[in-house]
Amino acid sequence: MVDIKQESTHHLTLPPPPLRHLKHLAFDTKYTLQPSPSPAILATILEHIKLSSPPLTAFTIKLPERKVVIGEPFIAQLVKNHGDTLKRLAFLDCGVSLESVGEICKNAVHLEQLEVAIPMKDMVRSCSLC
The fraction of the chain above a pLDDT of 70, given in percent, is 69
pLDDT at 95: 85
Q: Which residue ranges make up each domain of the chain? A: 24-29+38-129
Residues 113 and 89: their CA atoms lie apart, in Å, by: 6
Q: Other CB atoms closer than 10 Å to residue 78's CB: what's the count? A: 25
pLDDT at 1: 41
State mean pLDDT over 36-49: 74
Is the pTM higher than 0.75?
no
Q: Tell me the pLDDT tens digit for each residue of 71-124.
A: 899 999 999 989 999 999 999 888 888 899 999 999 999 999 999 887 666 666
- Asked whether residue 43 carries a pLDDT value surpassing 50, the answer given is yes
